[in-house]
C-alpha cells in the first residue's frame, strides 16, 4: 500500500507543478479536485497497511442509510443478548448452549461462558474490558485516517 501511496504522491506533485490552462477562478476547478482527492488517497495509502486502508474505505458505508454496519451489528447483538437472557431466566440452559453455537459474536459467547462458570464480577469486567480494547484497537487506525482526511480536506 505504501508503494501505491508513493506513486499517487508523485502524481499529485507532478499535477501540482504542471501548467494550468484555466486563467479564471470558477466554482468547479478540476485541477484542485484532482489534487485534493488524489492527495488524500495518497496520504491514506502512504500511512496505512492494506487492512487499515480497506477498513478506512469500508467505513464510508456508515453514511448510507440502511447499510450501516455498526448499527445493524449492534441491533443483532442486542437481540441475541435479550434472547439469551430470556432463555436463561426460563431455565432453558440447553437451548442457550444451542443458541450459542449459532452466534457470530465473540462477546456473546464470552457472556454465556461467564454465566456458566458463575464468574465473579471482577473477572467479568476484566473480560469485557479486554473486548472493548480489542474493538478500539481494530477501529482506531481507520478513525485516525478519517481525522487526517478531515484536516486535509
Q: What is the DSSP string of 84-139?
A: HHHHHHTT-HHHHHHHHHH---HHHHHHHHHHHHT--HHHHHHHHHHHHHHHHHHH
The whole-number pLDDT of residue 89 equals 81
Pick out the chain residues at pLDDT < 70: 22-25, 66-69, 119, 121, 124, 153
Q: What is the pLDDT of residues 50-82, one digit of tens each?
A: 888 888 877 777 777 766 667 777 788 888 888
Longest dimension (CA), the chain: 78
Same domain? 131 vs 76: yes
The whole-number pLDDT of residue 113 equals 77
Q: Residue 105's domain spans which residues?
A: 69-136
Cβ neighbours of residue 127 closer than 8 Å, sequence gap 6 or more: 110, 114, 119
| Single pTM value for the model | 0.52
Same domain? 76 vs 131: yes
Same domain? 52 vs 23: yes
The whole-number pLDDT of residue 150 equals 76
Amino acid at each position: 500500500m505504501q508503494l501505491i501511496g508513493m506513486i499517487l504522491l508523485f502524481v499529485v506533485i507532478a499535477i501540482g507543478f504542471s501548467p494550468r490552462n484555466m486563467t479564471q477562478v470558477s466554482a468547479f476547478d478540476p485541477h484542485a479536485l484532482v489534487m485534493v482527492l488524489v492527495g488524500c488517497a495518497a496520504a491514506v495509502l502512504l500511512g496505512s497497511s492494506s487492512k487499515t486502508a480497506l477498513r478506512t474505505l469500508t467505513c464510508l458505508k456508515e453514511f448510507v442509510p440502511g447499510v450501516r454496519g455498526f448499527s445493524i451489528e449492534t441491533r443483532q447483538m442486542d437481540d441475541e443478548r435479550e434472547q439469551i437472557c430470556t432463555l436463561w431466566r426460563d431455565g432453558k440452559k440447553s437451548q442457550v448452549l444451542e443458541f450459542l453455537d449459532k452466534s457470530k459474536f465473540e462477546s456473546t459467547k464470552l457472556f454465556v461462558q461467564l454465566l456458566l462458570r458463575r464468574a465473579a464480577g471482577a473477572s467479568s469486567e476484566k473480560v469485557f474490558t479486554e473486548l472493548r480494547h480489542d474493538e478500539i484497537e481494530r477501529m482506531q487506525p481507520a478513525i485516525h485516517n478519517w481525522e487526517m482526511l478531515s484536516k486535509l480536506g
